[in-house]
Structures are given as structure tokens and as C-alpha cells.
Structure 1
Amino acid sequence: MTKRHLSKLLAMLTTIAITASLFAGCGGKKDPASPSADKPKEEQSLVYNLGQEPDTIDPGLSTTITAATVANQNFEGLMKFNAENKLECAVAEKVDFDQANPTKYVFHLRKDAKWSDGKAVTAKDFEYSWKRVLNPATASDYANQLYYLKNGAKYNSKEAKAEDVGVKATDDYTLQVELENPTPYFLQLCGLPTLMPVRQDIVEKDPDKWTLNPQTYLGNGPFKMTVWEHDSKMEFVKNDNYWNKANVKIEKMKFTMIAINSSALSAFETGEADYIDIVPNNEIPKLVQDKKMVTTPNIGTYYICANDMKAPLDNPKVRKALALAIDRSALIEAVWKDGRKAATGWVPYGINDAKEGKAFREVGGDFYTDKADVEQAKKLLAEAGYPDGKGFPVFEYAYNKSETHAKIAQAVQDMWKKNLNINIKLNEVDWKVFVPQRKEGNFELSRNGWVGDYFDPMTFMDILVTKDGNNDAHYSNPKYDELVLNAKKEKDPEKRMQMIHDAEKILMDDMAIIPLAFYVDDVCIKPYLKGTVRVSNGMIYFDKAYIEGKTAAK
């Protein structure tokens, strides 16, 4: 998908950005940003365009940004991110951590945390939820986010029992956690949907359908769902049992599901939507000029996924030829039009290296230029047995419904024809089919994208390990797997980061995936909607949002 600092919780914790007070406690604070008391009271409701309907809204199963956006309103984990990309306490009121024993954490839960039906949130809810994600029967694609727990990976692979996993509720409000190895970004993981609590009694009563009915989609977050009209809208109201309800100003929310960029912009222009983040690319220059749109950072990479199990895409020379035949700067200029950077590697900017003040991408450098290297691409394709494209099969390039994805697909199709003399067919696929199609390997070439879940390069390395649940390319290289595994065990920050750089080099030499551009978020927000929080890992929160000035604007 779809984070950042502790002090010297390890030298590497400079990527987490948590204040020292975190370990002493994180008491709830009054939010200074709120509607002015001396102004007329306005209706506190907002409309956000979610775009595509999520394939699942189960926080333990979801892997997409849209699913995370829904989960962030209905559920809350031990930690959460704020507008500065820093961590703050959420259900956890206090975290005990000893640098001399960096694999142990003790979370003290706030006693006023409740589910939307008023029942207390307990440490047992977290223990159940984490073990549920790891349970092989659950088949969570994000189980690896809990492999950091002692025996987490072993339990997921049926080599250990649930009681062996390093998470235990010692009482209703104390959660003890033991990790396999020191993990500098563990607290960041505690802010992700995968590690949010779910209610055992609700889930086990109807495991397959509990998320489909707003009455049973019961959470502990600032809002609760009241309506879900599939492929149309979701509606939410303020959760009056939320521990921090006094600082939640929004009373009602609606999430629309407008997948077409131009239609989303029309809804924004007519006032039917207050917040959109999919816009027609050809409108971007004017929207910026009119000060209706801003571009915000995002730690994500837009890429083409080649199915590494299908010949001749199983040949690294073929994949590299396809990659080098693409002019990324031309794609950005012609389609995106928003100043994003060409992806000349896998890990994007916005993630720190072990070297002070350096970005991982800056240290890792470029694996190719932003322009097409046609000569080298033709050479590699010929070496693979397809001189001048002769004999190369006609592959299908799948993408989910979107004007932007369609334009990118068309541009890539043209570049491959012009530069390599090969043909591909384009196939626009409905989102509900598109996601499982990639997961199951029922594709040849496919649009894909990955937004980092936390602010460490491991969030990108992890998903291309053999048989990882998010490894849609079905890539496998034992040397790569070994480097990633060793990096997770390495305690020296610089040695660890070098292992990750070495792993990325293997990945790019194999061209396991074909990166095109690093993400940014193009966002249109009405001026009267204030206090929304958008984190660079794609997380969106509305618990601090409020409406001010909408009445006057009319």
C-alpha cells in the first residue's frame, strides 16, 4: 500500500519520527484546529470520492489504499500517523520500550477505548486479531506484516502453534509483544489496518460476510458505517463511543465511488464532492493555476507487472528490453502532467537511507535513464531470440478502469511498437476482477502500483520475496530472498541498508517489475473543508476534519 521516528530506538529509527514523550505516554490532547466558537454553526458533513469500491474492507485482509481509507475511519490501531508523517498513540496510551532489549514492547491500552456498540476494546482483541491475520486459514496477503513477531512466520507456515506467537494479552489493557529481531519500523506497522483490532465474536459468527453489512461492520474508530450501496456509495456517522469523540467534528460522511476522472472532477466543481484525488490529467495545469489542486508527496511507485511465469516474460532479457524501450519522461509530460519523477529504480524518494540526511533513492542512484534506450532494448530482445521483434507473441496488457491508466497503456503500447516492433493488446478490466486476476497470476502484462506502508525501503523489498502474498509478478530469486531475510536480522543500520541496496540491484538486473514513475497525490479539496490528514503512505484520516466557511461561500 497501503510511515516514520523514535529517537535512538535504534539508529535507524530516524525514519520513524516519534517524539521522546511517546514512551512516557501519549495522553489525548485537545485539537486546536476546530470551528471558531463565535461563528454560526455549520453542518459538519463531507463527501469524499473513494473512486473504486474496495475488493475487501476487512482490515486484516485488505491490501489497497481504498480499503485502508475505509478502515481508517471505522477502526483504530495501537498507533496512528499524523499530518507530519509522524506516529502518535491511538488505542495505546503508553508504550514501554527498553533499548537494551529491542525485541520487547509493552503496550498499555487506554481504558476509555470502546467499540461502536459500547463494549470495551481490550488487549485480547489485538491478540486475537494479529493471530487471525497470521492464521494460514485466513489467507491474508499481508500476513508478512506480522512475521516480525516471534514465531509469526512459523505459525503462518504451520510450523508453530498460535500460542507460540510473540503477542500476549496479560490483562485487559496490557499487550506484551516479542519480535524475532529488532525491527526499527515496528511501531509504524502498528498504525496499519492489518494490525487493527477486529471483534472475535462478530467475525467468527459470520467470517465471510461480517464486513458486508454495516450493522456487523463494527469498529473502534472515529466513525461507523451506516449505509453501503455497492459500487455507489458508503455513508458514515460519528461514533459516539469513540474515546476521542470530543475532538471529532464531522457528524456525517459520504464516500462516493466515481472511477472516471472527469466525472469525479465534475462532482467536485458542482459541489457534489468536497474532496477528490483522481482528476483528468489534461486539466491538471489549469487546476493548479486556479489554485484548486495541490500535489502532495507519496511514497509509491507506478509499475508494469510482467508475469514472470509466462514465456518469454520469464526471460530477464525480455523484461529488460521492454523496460528500456519506454520513455518515462515523455509519459510524465504527455499523460501525468504533474511534475512527478521518473522511476529509475524500485524504491521511491521520501524514504531515508542509513546515511544522515540522505534518501535511499539518492544513495542507490539510477539503474537506467528517464529516456528510452532503444539501442540496448533492441539488443537485449535480439539476444532473447526476437530480433526486430520477429516471432514475439502478442501479449495482453490489463489495466483497471481509469482514464490515466488507459492513456499510459496506450502510450506504452505505441512505444513498444515503435521501438521494438512488437504488438500488445489492451484490456480494460473491472476492479473487482482486476485485483484477484493479478493475485492468481491470470494475466500476462498488467498495470500495478505499490505505495509503501511504512517509511523504510523494506516495505518495497518485502513484496517481491518468493511467494509473498503481494508478489503479483510471481518473481523468485533465492539470492534476493536471502538478502532481504538477512537485512531483517541485521542490527547494524549501515550494513542493513547496504543489503537492501544490493537486493534492489538484483531486482533491477532481473527487471522483476518495470517501474515507470514515482507517485504523487493530485488533490482537490474545497477551501471550507479543513483539518483533513493525508500521509505520504496514502493513509487518509478525517477524525480532525471540520467544515468552516461553507455557508459564507454560498
Structure 2
Amino acid sequence: MKKKVLLLASIVMTAAFVATACGTSAPTTPTTAPTTPAAKKILRTNNSSEPGSLDPALAQGTHESWVLDHTFEGLMKRSKEGLIVEGVAEKYTLADDQVTYTFTLRDDAKWSNGEKVTAQDFEFAWKRVLDPALAADYSYQMFYLKNGAKYNSGEAKVEDVGVKAIDEKTLEVVLEVPTAYFLELTAFYTYYPVNKKLVESNADWAKDPKTYVSNGPFKLTDWVHNASIKLEKTDTYYDAANVKLDGIEFAILEDATTAWQKYEGGEFDFLTPIPGPVVGQLKASNSSELVIGTDLATYYYNFNSKRAPFDNAKVRRGLSMAIDRKTIVEKITMGGQTPAEGVVPFGMFDENNTEYRTAVGNLIKYDLTEAKKVFEEGLAEAGMTLAQFNAKGFKLLYNTSETHKKIAEAVQNMWKTSLGVEIGLENVEFQVKLDREKAGDYDISRAGWIGDYADPMTFIDLWETTSSYNDAKFSNAEYDKLVAESKATVDQKVRMENMRKAEKLLMEQMPIAPVYFYTQPYVQKSYVSGIYKPINRYPYFIYADINK
């Protein structure tokens, strides 16, 4: 409304000037007419789900990290070219021992409240993630730090953890073992700093935009729960001169069809995810607005291995073998996804610098005859008949989404047709799904994982017995041993061979049923430019622009 009033005033003033000029023969000096202030550049999109927390230490999914990746920045960051480059860190060195890093912070790194970002902020933030009292789901990502795991389990003191502020600008980090992908981890949101002084004085700082302080290109200015999140450009950001947007507005709509309708109606400038049929239509019409983004991610189903009969590997394998993955990606998702061949997707390399996935091979089988045989054997071992199984009323849990619903309905029908199995469907909000998985309150659940870093370990270590994200409640001593040995060595051949063995073991036990390897289709209006998508993150708007 304010813009309309300003525009009307401008028109009236211009009209008055013209009338005066026409009514006199006296010469006039050319006058510049008042101009309407340029409209703010606000990029509008949809976040799909309500965040559980916008505290970097407590966040656990893309519904949170997409916001955090625009409000915070780590020691390193992802460039437009997909490289890991210096962020808050101006430079770094790695000692000859291959475990001691020294990071020097930028002089111009500031918080959104104008205070300086210090090495003490990083030390505090990382140790806070490890603090057992915080119970952060992602605490294990800090176990790379010397004594990180021991402090988290109460076997060491906080001062024993391998991160220390030498002075305001210098952060010393000591790892347990050499870790090739550690620099990439420092660009991950769990490693983002928090303002030590603020967090110590206000435990609820991340719940209210009025008290929210961050160090990235944008700051949180408004959060209407289950409705919208608004970000505003941060003038204190060291690279603010290259940030062209004035802000970002995230709606929070779980229904992808409704979100698409809003995009079509001009209410959004960018959108992901997109309903599968829409992706198919856009591809068929060669739409200039459609982009098929690459993704380092796997879509899968968890089996609750603590609940009979899903505690039987044959039952799990039988259900997995009855899933027609090719039909799902060709008829439902239609965004260039590929049927899963294991838990580790394509896009990462082994000790020979060749595709890891190719070397491991396809570990997923689709065989309806064998599926029925194995499933029935598993039920018999579990002391259960098919009729008893069906009488249990087991359900497949998924978070609200038209695509998840269609995939679940398809799998439900495949199991019914091929195995005679009757599985109900239950949809809930994303955060509710996450909470129920953590509590083990489900039979089968839909899940997905985007790699935190570009190494197969980001998928393999999910199913260690003690992993925070082992929602299938899987436990296997040999698997744990292979993962631990892989993490404890710098010998790439040993690392990779152990991970290959671990993945094969996992697919024999089948605590999860991988369905497909993701892509990330998205659409953006023709007037939007500068968006880029790292292989394992949601698209970045940091250097986006709007020119209508």
C-alpha cells in the first residue's frame, strides 16, 4: 500500500509540472521528475516444513539447514563453483602431523549485532555441540576432534577436546586421526559458530527473531510458526557488497501441489520440491524455468529392527526385493532420479579416483519370486503367519508430501500384489516423523539422507549401533568394526575396502530399503539469476538477483 501511495504522489507532481509549463510562454529550466524508490529485491520460496530448531547445534534436517546456510557461515564455505573455500577463516595451515589445523579468522567477520566473530565463539560452539547435556543429534560429527567422543560420553573433560582459541583470531584444532574431508565438515551447519556471550546469557536465543544473532549474509527478522520465515540482508556481513537480494521469504507449506500453484500464480520466484507429474510435464515441454539439480542423496525406507517381525533380516529383504524401483522413478518422481543400487549414491570416488558406486556394484535386487520365498521364510522364523502379520495393522509412516504419498501408495500396492501383505499408510508433519523415528515409534518409515560431505562415510556411518541417525535401530558388531577401522586409518585402500564390505553387509541385513538416488528438480522465474546448488546442499540464494 505504501508503494502505491508514493507512486500516486509521483504521478500527481509530474502532472502538475506539465500543466504549468504548458500555461506559460516564459522559458523554463529542465527539471528532473521525482522517482519512485526501487522496489526491494525479496526472493520468495517455500521451505516445505516447519523447522524444529534454527540453532545450528540442534538442527538435523534440510527444513532447518536451508535457512541456516543463509544466516550463518563456517570457517570454510561452498563457492559458486562447488569448491570448499575460506569463509570466516582468512587462511589455515595443516601441521606435518596431519591432525593439527590452525585457522586465522578474518578481521571483518562480524555478527549481525555488529560484534566481532572470534575464535572463542567457534571453540564455545563446537564444545557446546559435544556437551552431553545438550543432547545434540549431530554431536557425532564432532567426534573427529581429539577427545570429542570421550567428552560426549563423559570419559573426558571439556578442556581435553581438541579445539582451542589461541587468541581472538586464531583457532587451533586437533583431530583424533587425519581426516581428508575435515575442511568440508567445517562448512557444514553443525560446525557453524554461535555468539558465545549471547548463548551463555540466553538459552532460548534461537527461538525469537528479536534475540537471534547470526554471522551470515542474511539475518532472521520474522518467524511465524508453521506459516513463514523472513530473512533480511545483513549489512555487517563481510561480503555484503556482493549480496544483491534485500531479503528472502520462506513460506512453510507441506503440500507440494499448493506450493506449485502459488509458483504458477506468481507468489513464489523459486520452488523446490516440485510434484513429480509437474516435473514430467515441464521436461516434456522443455521449460526454460526447470533445472534438474544434482544431489548426493538417497531415498529409503527404515524397518524398525526392534519390532517383530521386522527384526528378521529375511522379512526385510523380502519386502525390499518386492519394490519395483524403476517404475517409481519413471512413473512417479520423473525428475531424473535413478533406482538405488545400495545406500551410497553416485558422485563420490574411491582410492583409485574412480566412481565408488561402480566399484561396489548393484546390491539391490528386484525378484518377485525370490521376494515371496524369502519373506515367507522370514515370517516362519519369526513364528508368524501372513494372516497374523496382516492382522497386526502395521503402517508405513511418511511426512506429508504428495510425492511421498504416491510412492508409499505404490509400494503398498506392490507388497499387496506380490506378497499378499497389507500395510497401512500414515502421514504426519516432518518434525513429528523425525521425533517418532528417534523414539522408535513406527513400523516402517520413509527417510532420506543428503551427504554431509563428499565421502562414502557420510552414508556408511549412519547405521553404526550408536549413530544418532540410526533410526532403523540396527546393530551389528562386524559392521561397527568395519566402520571404526575405516575411520581410524588414512590408508585410502583400507578405508574404501572396509566401506565396501560394510555396505555389502548392510544390504544383506537390509535394515533399510534404499529406493532411489535423488536429483533435485527446481524451478525459478526468468527474472531470477545467480542461484547455485552445491552437490549436497539445497540451492544457495546468497548471490542471487532479481531483475523484473
CA contact (8 A) 2:399 2:427 kept: yes
Secondary structure of residue in 1 paired with 2:409: helix
- The match for 1:69 is 66
- The match for 1:174 is 170
Aligned match of 1:382 in 363, 376, 384?
A: 376
4+ aligned runs moved over 6 Å, structure 1: none
Secondary structure of residue in 2 paired with 1:243: coil
Q: Give per-residue Cα distances to partners, 1:109-152, cap 9 Å, x unaligned.
A: 00110101111000000000000000101101111111000000
| TM alignment of 1:27-42, pairs within 5 A | none
Q: Give 1:299 shift.
A: 0.5
- The match for 1:277 is 272
How much is the aligned-residue C-alpha RMSD, in angstroms?
1.4
| TM alignment of 1:21-170, pairs within 5 A | 43-98=40-95, 100-170=96-166
What CA distance in whole angstroms lies between the structure 1 residues aligned with 2:410 and 2:454?
Answer: 31
CA contact (8 A) 1:389 1:422 kept: yes
Kindly provide the amino acid, as one letter, of the partner of residue 109 in structure 1.
L
| TM alignment of 1:416-427, pairs within 5 A | 416-427=415-426
Kindly provide the amino acid, as one letter, of the partner of residue 370 in structure 2.
Q
Q: Give 1:390 shift.
A: 4.2
Secondary structure of residue in 1 paired with 2:398: strand
What CA distance in whole angstroms lies between the structure 1 residues aligned with 2:530 and 2:414?
Answer: 43
- The match for 1:352 is 349
| TM alignment of 1:258-337, pairs within 5 A | 258-288=253-283, 289=285, 290-337=287-334
Kindly provide the amino acid, as one letter, of the partner of residue 440 in structure 1.
A
- The match for 1:185 is 181
CA contact (8 A) 1:106 1:177 kept: yes
CA contact (8 A) 1:381 1:389 kept: no
Structure 2's unaligned 5+ residue stretches are 1-36
- The match for 1:433 is 432
- The match for 1:34 is none
Q: Give 1:419 shift.
A: 0.7
Q: Give 1:50 shift.
A: 1.0
What CA distance in whole angstroms lies between the structure 2 residues aligned with 1:53 and 1:211?
Answer: 14
Q: Give per-residue Cα distances to partners, 1:255-288, cap 9 Å, x unaligned.
A: 1112211111111112110110121211112212
Secondary structure of residue in 2 paired with 1:540: coil
Aligned match of 2:357 in 357, 361, 368?
A: 361
What CA distance in whole angstroms lies between the structure 1 residues aligned with 2:480 and 2:130?
Answer: 20
TM-score when normalising by structure 1: 0.89
Secondary structure of residue in 2 paired with 1:516: strand
Secondary structure of residue in 2 paired with 1:533: coil
- The match for 2:454 is 455
What CA distance in whole angstroms lies between the structure 1 residues aligned with 2:545 and 2:38?
Answer: 11
Kindly provide the amino acid, as one letter, of the partner of residue 487 in structure 2.
K
CA contact (8 A) 1:388 1:420 kept: no
CA contact (8 A) 2:340 2:364 kept: no
CA contact (8 A) 1:388 1:421 kept: no
TM-score when normalising by structure 2: 0.90
Secondary structure of residue in 1 paired with 2:329: helix
Percent identity between the aligned chains? 42
What CA distance in whole angstroms lies between the structure 2 residues aligned with 1:147 and 1:355?
Answer: 27
| TM alignment of 1:379-418, pairs within 5 A | 379-386=373-380, 389-392=386-389, 393-418=392-417
Q: Give 1:394 shift.
A: 3.1
Aligned match of 2:250 in 243, 251, 255?
A: 255
Secondary structure of residue in 2 paired with 1:127: helix
Aligned match of 1:234 in 226, 229, 232?
A: 229
- The match for 1:29 is none
- The match for 2:217 is 222
Kindly provide the amino acid, as one letter, of the partner of residue 218 in structure 2.
F
Which protein is bigger by CA-based radius of gyration? 2
CA contact (8 A) 2:151 2:157 kept: yes
Secondary structure of residue in 2 paired with 1:116: coil
Kindly provide the amino acid, as one letter, of the partner of residue 462 in structure 1.
D
- The match for 1:19 is none
More deviation, 402-411/52-61? 52-61
What CA distance in whole angstroms lies between the structure 1 residues aligned with 2:500 and 2:280?
Answer: 36
Q: Give 1:389 shift.
A: 3.2
